[in-house]
Amino acid sequence: MEEIILRKHTFTILVENRPGVLARVAGLFSRRGFNIDSLAVSTTQDPSLSRITIVVEGNDRTLEQVSKQLNKLIDIVRVNDITNVDTVDRELVLIKVNAGAAQRQEILSIASVFRAQVIDVSEKSVILEVTGPQDKLTAIVKLLKHYGIIEIVRTGKVVLIRGEKNT
């Protein structure tokens, strides 16, 4: 039997901007029992097209099969597995963290190291906005845990291929 190695794949999918497209795409992953790690959908420079960026963990062969099945969907214009491609990728996270008067200064200095924006301050908490690649976000979240994170919300990863080549 072949060895099954799981790893994270990033797919960027160009689709027709129509209702139901996301359900079709998500259905192909869910039908094989894949859990979607992250998902981002938005319009593009062409209003008739949208881009879906999906991060999913699985073995290479099954995901190649999923990618081929995605290509068969009529509403899908292009599927690209960019896991091994030179890209820039970004995520955004909003973190609401406990910050009484005593801790506020410390938190603000952590924020400045990570170039996080402070977007809300109240008596007992602050909300930080951080943008960056996944590992940077994970690092600041880890640091802030110490103060007590009240809530977190994170966007899906968005990715573009470096240089002139289309993603």
Partner 1 sequence: MIGSQVLVECLKSEGVDVMFGIPGGVVLTIFDALYDSGIRVVLTRHEQGAAHAADGFARVTGRVGVCLATSGPGATNLVTGLANAYMDSVPIVAITGQVNTDLLGRDSFQEADITGISLPITKHNYLVKDVEDLPRVIKEAFYIASTGRPGPVLIDVPADVTTTDMKLKIPENVVLKGYHPPLQGHKKQISKAVSLIEKARRPLLYVGGGIIISGANNEVLSLAEKLRCPVTHTLMGKGAFPETNSLSLGMLGMHGTWTANTAINNADVIIAVGVRFDDRVTGRLDKFATKAKIIHIDVDPAEIGKNVAVKVPIVGDAKSVLEAILAELKTTPNTSEWIAQIEKWKKDHALRYDNGTDEIPPQLVVEKIHEITKGDAIITTEVGQNQMWAAQYYGCNRPRRFISSGGLGTMGYGFPAAIGAQIGAPGELVIDIAGDGSFMMNIQELTTAVCNDLPVKVAVLNNGYLGMVRQWQKMFYKGRYSCSCLKGNPEFAKVAEAFGAVGMTITRKDEIEPAIREAVSNGRPTVMDFKVAEEANVMPMVPKGASLEDMIETHEVK
In the complex, which residues of this chain contact partner 1 (CB under 8 A)? Answer: 1, 15-16, 19-20, 23-24, 27, 31, 48-49, 64-65, 68-69, 71-78
49/85 with CB nearer partner 1? 49
Report, in Å, the least distance between residue 12 CB and partner 1.
14
Report, in Å, the least distance between residue 42 CB and partner 1.
18
Report, in Å, the least distance between residue 124 CB and partner 1.
41
**Do residues 91 and 38 make contact, with C-beta atoms less than 8 angstroms apart?**
yes
Rounded Cα distance between 35 and 20, Å, is 19
Phi, psi of 94 (to 5 degrees): -110, 130
15/93 with CB nearer partner 1? 15
74/102 with CB nearer partner 1? 74
Rounded Cα distance between 39 and 158, Å, is 8
Report, in Å, the least distance between residue 50 CB and partner 1.
12
Residues in the chain: 167
Rounded Cα distance between 116 and 94, Å, is 10
43/138 with CB nearer partner 1? 43
User: In a 10 Å sphere around its CB, with 0-12 CB exposed, 13-18 middle and 19+ buried, how is residue 9 labelled?
Assistant: buried
